[in-house]
Amino acid sequence: MRVCVIGTGYVGLVTGACLAHIGHDVICVDNNEEKVKMMKSGQSPIFEPGLSDIMQSAINTGKIQFTTDTGAGVSHGDILFIAVGTPPLPNGESDTRYVEAVARSIGAHLDGGYKVIVNKSTVPIGSGDWVRMIVLDGIAERQKVLVPAGGVPSEETLPEIAGKFDVVSNPEFLREGSAVYDTFNPDRIVLGGNNPKAIAMMRELYAPIIERKYSVDQSLPPVPILATDLSSAEMIKYAANAFLATKISFINEVANICDRVGADVTQVAKGIGLDTRIGNKFLNAGIGWGGSCFPKDVSALIHTADDYGYEAQLLKAAVSVNERQRLIAVEKLQQVLKILKGKTVGLLGLTFKPDTDDMRDAPALNLIEHLNRLGAKVKAYDPIVSQTGMRHGLSGVQVETDAERLADGCDALVLVTEWQQFSNLDYTKMAKLMLHPVIIDGRNFLNPETMVRAGFQYVGVGR
C-alpha cells in the first residue's frame, strides 16, 4: 500500500521504516530540512535499536523516501499518518498546534481518491472529529469556499469531497528502546473509526504484522485487533499509560514503607507479581518515571477530567508520589554524606530509560538541579549522551567519557539509568578512585553483595 507519514520523531520514523520494511511504499515528511537530508543519507536522527538497519534496507529497496514536501506525501499516500508531537502545556493540556497544522495542510493538498487519515500522535479525546473539521477547513481555504458566519465546512458545503476521506485513531504503544521490536510484536492493535472501509484498509496495512510474519515467535496466534469508536481508541492510549504510571508510583510508595519497616521491596514485588491479577511488569521500585509519554499523558488525562467536571484524585496522587520519588536519591545521599555542599556526586546514566537518547522529563534532570542547589558538584556518564556528544541543553553537570573518569574524585555515585552496560563495570577499580565509595542504586539494578565485595557502601530503594 502507499503510505505517507508526517512527522519523523520516535513514533513517526519507526512507523514509517517498519511499514516500508514489510513491503509498503512509504514517504516520510518532515519540515526540518537538515533532518530530512540526514535521513536521505541513511542516518537516523534518533537512537533506537534496530532502526538504522531497517531504514537503510528500505532505502536500498526504494520502499522509503524522505521529503519536506507535504503535498507530495499527501498525493502519494492512500493512508496518511499524523505523527507529530503533542508536548504538554504548562497547565498539563496537550499542545495540539502541530497536529492542527498538519491536518490543515492535508486538507490544502487533498485531492484524488479515497484517503484514510490516521491519528498516530497521542491526541486529546475527541480529536478525531476535530481533525476531520480541520481537514475540511483546509479544503475550504484551498477552494475558497464561503462558509456562513459561525458555521464550519462540511460535506454539505463541500459536496465533491464527501466520502473522500475518513479519520482513524490508531494509538501507538511503543516503548522507547524497543520500539522496532514492539512494532513487529504488538500485544494488540487498536483501530478507532466510524467507517468499516477505513478499518478494512488499516487491517490490510497491518496484515503482515497481524499474521506474525515478522514476529520473533511466528507460531503465536494472530495479533488481537480491537476496532472501536474514535473516542474509545483515544482513551485507551491515555488509560494504558496512566495505569502503568500509577503501578510504578504504587510500588515506589510501597518501597518507601519498606525502607522504614525493614522489608525488601524487590522480594515484595516478586511476591505480589506472582499473582496473575497483578503481574510482575512495572513493579520495579526506584527514582520514578519520566520520558515523553507517562508525564504528558497522565497530565493530559487529569486535564481532560477537569474539563468535564471530574477530579482524577488517583492520577493526581500518582503524579505527586512520582515527584517526591525523584528526590529519594538526594535524601539517601544526605543520610550517608550528611552535608552535600562541597561534595562531588557522579550520576550513572542520564536518559530517562536505557537504550534511548531521550532525556525529556528524565529524573536525572531533577537530580542535577537539586544537587546543584545544595552546593554539590555533579558529574555524569551515560553510554549514549557521553559517546555521541549530545548534551541536550544540559547545564550544571560535567559529562564524562567513561565510568572510571566519572568515579575519580567522587564522594558518591547514583545509578540513575539501568543501562545493561552498568552491570559489567569494574566497580572494584571505581571504588578505589572515589573519596567515599558510596553508591545509591536508584533502580535496584545492581547486586548488593557484589557491590559490597567491590568496596562500596550500597544503598538501594526500599531494600
Mean per-residue pLDDT, 384-389:
79
What confidence tens digit (pLDDT) does each residue in 189-228 have? 999 999 999 999 999 999 999 999 999 999 999 999 999 9
| Burial of 50 (C-beta count, 10 Å sphere; 0-12/13-18/19+) | middle
Strands 189-192 and 225-228: parallel
Q: Which of 4, 18, 28, 293 is catalytic?
A: 293
Lowest mean pLDDT among 54-58, 145-149, 344-348, 445-449: 145-149
Does the active-site annotation cover 293? yes
pLDDT at 149 over 70: no
314/320 Cα distance (integer angstroms): 10
Grid cell, residue 326, equals 525523584
What is the share, in percent, of the chain residues with pLDDT greater than 90?
85
| Residue 324 exposed, middle or buried by CB count within 10 Å (0-12, 13-18, 19+) | middle
Lowest mean pLDDT among 149-158, 409-418, 431-440: 149-158
| Confidence band of 148 (pLDDT split at 50, 70, 90) | low
Contact between residue 15 and residue 82 where contact means Cβ atoms under 8 Å apart: no
162 pLDDT above the threshold of 60: no
The per-residue b/e assignment along 165-177, b for 16 or more CB within 10 angstroms, e otherwise, is bbbbbbbbbbebb
Maximum C-alpha span of the chain: 78
Q: Looking at the chain, how many residues does it have?
A: 463
Per-residue burial over 183-193, b = 16 or more CB atoms within 10 Å of its CB, e = otherwise: bbbbeebbbbb
- Which residues make up the CATH 1.10.1040.10 domain(s) of the chain? 236-324
Nearest-angstrom CA–CA distance, 416 and 288: 10
CATH 3.40.50.720 domain span(s) along the chain: 2-228, 326-459
Q: What is the pTM of this model?
A: 0.91
Confidence of residue 112 (pLDDT cuts 50, 70, 90): confident
Confidence of residue 121 (pLDDT cuts 50, 70, 90): confident
- What is the band of 391 on the pLDDT scale with cuts at 50, 70, 90? low
Contact at 8 Å (CB) between 416 and 442? yes
Write down the mean pLDDT value for the chain.
Answer: 93
Closest to 44 (Cα-Cα) out of 171, 216, 180: 180
Burial class (CB in 10 A: 0-12, 13-18, 19+), 336: middle
364 within 8 A of 287, measured Cβ to Cβ:
no
| Architecture per CATH, 236-324 | Orthogonal Bundle (1.10)
Assign domain 2-228 one CATH number from 3.40.50.720, 3.40.50.261, 3.60.21.10, 3.40.50.300. Answer: 3.40.50.720
pLDDT tens profile 41-84: 999 999 999 999 999 999 999 999 999 999 999 999 999 999 99
Neighbouring residues of 52: CB distance < 8 A, sequence distance ≥ 6: 42, 43, 44
* CATH superfamily placement of domain 326-459: NAD(P)-binding Rossmann-like Domain (3.40.50.720)
